[in-house]
Structure 1
Amino acid sequence: MRTFKIVIGVMLMGALGACDRINEYFESAKEIPLPGERISVITLHRALRPDPRITDLSVRLPRPYINEDWPQAGGHPTHAMHHLTLDEAPSQAWRVSAGVGAGDLLRLTAVPIAADQRVYVLDSEGNVAAHRADNGLRLWRYNIVPESEDRGALGGGLAYDRGILYLATGYGEAIALLAENGAEVWRRSIGVPLRGAPTVVNGRFFTVSYDNQLYALNIEDGSVEWSHIGIAEDAGIIGAASPAVEGDVVVAPYSSGELVALRVENGRILWTDSLTRTGRSTALAELNDINGSPVIDRDMVIAAGHAGRMVAIDLRSGARLWEQDIASIQTPWVAGDFVFIVTTEAQIVCLARNSGRIRWVQQLPRYEDEERRTDAIEWSGPVLASDRLIVVSSNGDGVAISPYSGDILGQVGLPDGASLSPIVANGTIFVLTDDGDLVAYR
């Protein structure tokens, strides 16, 4: 029960993320209102606008390619997937129940992964399932809840490598299963709930715990090779980023807003940075969490935090190359010379990769009731496939946006809300809805 108490505490802290921001001021009845238009200083401070210096810059992208698999969070250890291929007019191919969805106490936190013509899902009650990618047929199901626990836990995720399915769990365990049939290979207790999906590469399993420790495990038996302790942080947002790995460097994101680069062999620190900001106006803005995974692309680290800072950092030296006042809990998408990101204000933004200057901004719906500003909508993504940026929403919409202009290209209704980013594998989009349905579009 200790694990359950810990994760419920984290969930209550993370629930701040679902609250509406306070954008109005209360005036005394005796005050005489001044003439003129009133603009919230919070909204004004956060306004994102295209940079006039790059108005004439054409957005050019690399050619789309077919990715057979999406084997871990972010699609690749670097989280840089560039430009994927998708059919011209995808429609729903199949829909199956993949497990238990989100509820009052628990949420889905693990993005599905796809490998070897299968899609793997971890539901909110600790059930792992494998489904055929062509028709959704379930091949096996395995419950990972420890005998000492009796219910689901927040956090964790999946990764696949060479026939083995690796899991980091909210129960504080790292687990390896045979991808073919779900048979358990090994199980290692870390002792602290693990936040996000692991990153598996070159014989190591990297995972971050709720108390801001990065663990490097040996994938053969789950033994801990080394660990790094970050700054403790009491509050965080449900879900978490995964470490990014390129060559001999791993970049770890923490809920404190720290971004730390370390040697993969021994955990030696190369550099640190912080995505925190001062002088923020609300308690919600005080959350420093880096909830979207950092991306490593051509020796550049790109990351954004909830506190309102997005940065590009030189992978080798740790020097900041640029920064923007952008708040996000999503993973940036890098393609060619451009970066795309969804903000906490329901905007999708295109930035020049080399300078960080904003090329265009598209505002998505922020509330189901825009007039009353109630029922906030959470947008997840984007994924870039065949000249379309794809995002999904907590109120059940899938939207395609032009990466070149920001124009809305189309919209489709999902069977339910989706709070996790979609994935693309072998020309198919897979979406895990909040009620636990796995839906394929091709």
Structure 2
Amino acid sequence: MITCDSTKRRSSKLPPPLGEGRGGGVAGTQFTPTPALPQRGREITRVLYASLRLCAILLICNPAAADWPFARGGAESTGATDVALPNEPEVVWTYEAGETSLEATPVIAAGVAYFGDFDGTMHAVRVVDGSLVWKQSFDGSGFVSPAAVAGDALFAPDMNGVVHCLALKDGVERWTFDSESEMYGGPLVHKLVSGDSMVLLPTEGGTLYALDAATGKELWSFAIDAPLRCTPTVVGGHALLAGCDAKLHTLDVETGQETGAVELGDPTGNTAAVVGGVAYFGTEGGSFEAVDANDPAKPVVKWSYRDRRSSQGIRTAAAVTKDAVVYANQGKLVVALRPENGDVLWQWRTRSRVDAAPLSIKDGRILAATTRGRLLLIDPVKGNPVWNYEVGGSFIGAPAAADGVVLLPNTDGRLYAIGGKED
């Protein structure tokens, strides 16, 4: 597995560092009022214009509940969904990508899931039945990072650091941007005050690029002296980046200027999940941090938890709700903490590692997928499995959820849809 100290390119059997946290897309509606309108008419027009513009922003920045546009759901990267799973698991459908490995978390928009494979093909399949909408192959590299969806475009980074902007409807390439650095974190799309959208792109070289979503032109960049392996999290006009330099950085997302930073005890490649202005993420040293970022100029560690029995690193993003923060470490331990103070709610030790970031589903149940192809649905109160289901292969990419199912990519080249009738 890639760590913050790793320098070699990963093999198809090595999981990418998840944190995958991980919208925007179309410019705001433009309308010019007719000069001949009376004053009251012009006022009504201005109100209508403002309302339409607000609706456009809300639709882009707060996608429909049935969508999963970024690696960890929405821009706050909580890894939580209202999708329910039954007490008896059911594989609703399976999509076979061929003799390849699926390691990238799917993203979902308007009933279609988008994901890449290790051999360089992007796939688009219908969530309802797994049928193929389109697929496009690209020479030179594979896909292990999640893509991002915004408007009518898909933004897919390959392992060599080239971002491909594709049309959602048919996968036709619109533009590319070469970061000249390997890439393991996922992109995130943000709506600017101007109405335009930008793509935020973290790289192994330690640079975060902001690109114009329409053209791929670089708007600004921010760099640290260590890899960036997280998906950026954007809250209140600020981007949060947890870096391998052992710091959580806050940036003004409009300009790329750093507004603050807080020192951590250890490096991290995790995506920060944000609830109530508090960022939750783990570190390579095994500590789990809660950083209050409500004042982006002065982020401060609210609490820090370290399990005394297991100092293994935390290399996946957490699933966070108002009731629990759940993460998995490299010691085969799934841990639930109280968001307000870091007290332990429960722990469950699995038989194999959980390299795919956990998912919080309806009623707070936790879905954990292991590297030996086993799924566990964990009760949020008792902390023990409701069911334990063997699929096979290995789960590395984090699950995504929409339209009543949970989608899980597997190294056996299959995408599994888990669902069934709610009990």
Please confirm whether the aligned pair reaches a TM-score higher than 0.5, indicating the same fold: yes
Which position in structure 2 is the counterpart of 1:320? 301
Q: Deviations over 1:46-88 (max 9, x none)?
A: xxxxxxxxxxxxxxxxxxxx93011111011110254522142
Shift in Å at residue 143 of structure 1? 1.7
Shift in Å at residue 216 of structure 1? 1.1
Letter in 2 for 1:76: G
Which position in structure 2 is the counterpart of 1:70? 68
Mapped to 2, the partners of 1:197 and 1:16 lie a distance apart of 14
Which position in structure 1 is the counterpart of 2:243? 254
Instruction: Say yes or no: does 1:345 pair with 2:331.
Output: yes
Q: Compared with structure 1, are the counterparts of its residues 16 and 303 closer, same or farther at alpha carbon in structure 2 (3 Å cutoff)?
A: closer
Q: 1:248-397 alignment to 2 at 5 Å?
A: 248-277=237-266, 288-290=267-269, 292-315=270-293, 316=295, 317-325=298-306, 327-366=313-352, 377-387=353-363, 388-397=365-374
Mapped to 1, the partners of 2:339 and 2:237 lie a distance apart of 23
Q: Deviations over 1:254-312 (max 9, x none)?
A: 233332110001111122234344xxxxxxxxxx342x311111111111112222211
Mapped to 2, the partners of 1:16 and 1:127 lie a distance apart of 18
Instruction: Say yes or no: does 1:86 pair with 2:64.
Output: no
Bigger drift between 86-95 and 263-272 goes to 86-95
Shift in Å at residue 249 of structure 1? 0.4
1:390 alignment partner, SS class: strand
Mapped to 1, the partners of 2:67 and 2:15 lie a distance apart of 35
Asked if structure 1 preserves the Cα contact closer than 8 Å seen for 2:16 and 2:145, the reply is: no
Shift in Å at residue 437 of structure 1? 0.3
Mapped to 2, the partners of 1:160 and 1:300 lie a distance apart of 25
From 397, 407, 416, the counterpart of 2:393 = 416
Letter in 2 for 1:303: F
Mapped to 2, the partners of 1:321 and 1:72 lie a distance apart of 27
Mapped to 2, the partners of 1:337 and 1:144 lie a distance apart of 43
Asked if structure 1 preserves the Cα contact closer than 8 Å seen for 2:143 and 2:157, the reply is: no
Mapped to 2, the partners of 1:115 and 1:123 lie a distance apart of 19
Shift in Å at residue 141 of structure 1? 0.9
Letter in 2 for 1:164: A
Q: Compared with structure 1, are the counterparts of its residues 144 and 71 closer, same or farther at alpha carbon in structure 2 (3 Å cutoff)?
A: same
Asked if structure 2 preserves the Cα contact closer than 8 Å seen for 1:97 and 1:437, the reply is: yes
Asked if structure 1 preserves the Cα contact closer than 8 Å seen for 2:81 and 2:401, the reply is: no
Asked if structure 2 preserves the Cα contact closer than 8 Å seen for 1:110 and 1:197, the reply is: no
Instruction: Say yes or no: does 1:160 pair with 2:171.
Output: no
Q: Deviations over 1:157-186 (max 9, x none)?
A: 300011211112222222211101001111
Shift in Å at residue 342 of structure 1? 1.0
From 232, 236, 242, the counterpart of 2:231 = 242
* Structure 2 unmatched runs, 5+: 1-5, 18-63, 192-196, 308-312
Q: Compared with structure 1, are the counterparts of its residues 82 and 8 closer, same or farther at alpha carbon in structure 2 (3 Å cutoff)?
A: closer
Q: Compared with structure 1, are the counterparts of its residues 115 and 83 closer, same or farther at alpha carbon in structure 2 (3 Å cutoff)?
A: closer
TM-score (norm 2): 0.78
Mapped to 2, the partners of 1:251 and 1:426 lie a distance apart of 29
Asked if structure 2 preserves the Cα contact closer than 8 Å seen for 1:110 and 1:196, the reply is: no
Asked if structure 1 preserves the Cα contact closer than 8 Å seen for 2:127 and 2:403, the reply is: no
Q: Compared with structure 1, are the counterparts of its residues 154 and 179 closer, same or farther at alpha carbon in structure 2 (3 Å cutoff)?
A: closer
Mapped to 2, the partners of 1:407 and 1:16 lie a distance apart of 26
2:147 alignment partner, SS class: strand
Mapped to 2, the partners of 1:191 and 1:401 lie a distance apart of 41
Asked if structure 2 preserves the Cα contact closer than 8 Å seen for 1:396 and 1:416, the reply is: yes
Bigger drift between 382-391 and 432-441 goes to 382-391
Asked if structure 2 preserves the Cα contact closer than 8 Å seen for 1:112 and 1:423, the reply is: yes
Bigger drift between 121-130 and 91-100 goes to 91-100
Q: Compared with structure 1, are the counterparts of its residues 378 and 314 closer, same or farther at alpha carbon in structure 2 (3 Å cutoff)?
A: closer
Mapped to 1, the partners of 2:318 and 2:348 lie a distance apart of 15
2:9 alignment partner, SS class: helix
Which position in structure 2 is the counterpart of 1:436? 413
Bigger drift between 108-117 and 126-135 goes to 108-117
Mapped to 1, the partners of 2:81 and 2:95 lie a distance apart of 28
Mapped to 1, the partners of 2:96 and 2:151 lie a distance apart of 27
Letter in 2 for 1:396: G
Instruction: Say yes or no: does 1:189 pair with 2:181.
Output: no
2:330 alignment partner, SS class: coil
Which position in structure 1 is the counterpart of 2:111? 117
Instruction: Say yes or no: does 1:134 pair with 2:128.
Output: yes
Asked if structure 2 preserves the Cα contact closer than 8 Å seen for 1:82 and 1:336, the reply is: no
Q: Compared with structure 1, are the counterparts of its residues 74 and 381 closer, same or farther at alpha carbon in structure 2 (3 Å cutoff)?
A: same
Residues matched between the structures, number: 352
Mapped to 1, the partners of 2:253 and 2:260 lie a distance apart of 13
Mapped to 1, the partners of 2:16 and 2:106 lie a distance apart of 23
Shift in Å at residue 153 of structure 1? 4.4
Q: Compared with structure 1, are the counterparts of its residues 86 and 429 closer, same or farther at alpha carbon in structure 2 (3 Å cutoff)?
A: same
Asked if structure 2 preserves the Cα contact closer than 8 Å seen for 1:118 and 1:132, the reply is: yes
Mapped to 1, the partners of 2:374 and 2:113 lie a distance apart of 22
Mapped to 1, the partners of 2:321 and 2:356 lie a distance apart of 18
Q: Compared with structure 1, are the counterparts of its residues 395 and 155 closer, same or farther at alpha carbon in structure 2 (3 Å cutoff)?
A: closer
Q: Deviations over 1:2-58 (max 9, x none)?
A: xxxxx982327x96999xxxxxxxxxxxxxxxxxxxxxxxxxxxxxxxxxxxxxxxx
Mapped to 1, the partners of 2:158 and 2:242 lie a distance apart of 17
Q: Compared with structure 1, are the counterparts of its residues 195 and 419 closer, same or farther at alpha carbon in structure 2 (3 Å cutoff)?
A: closer
Mapped to 2, the partners of 1:139 and 1:171 lie a distance apart of 26
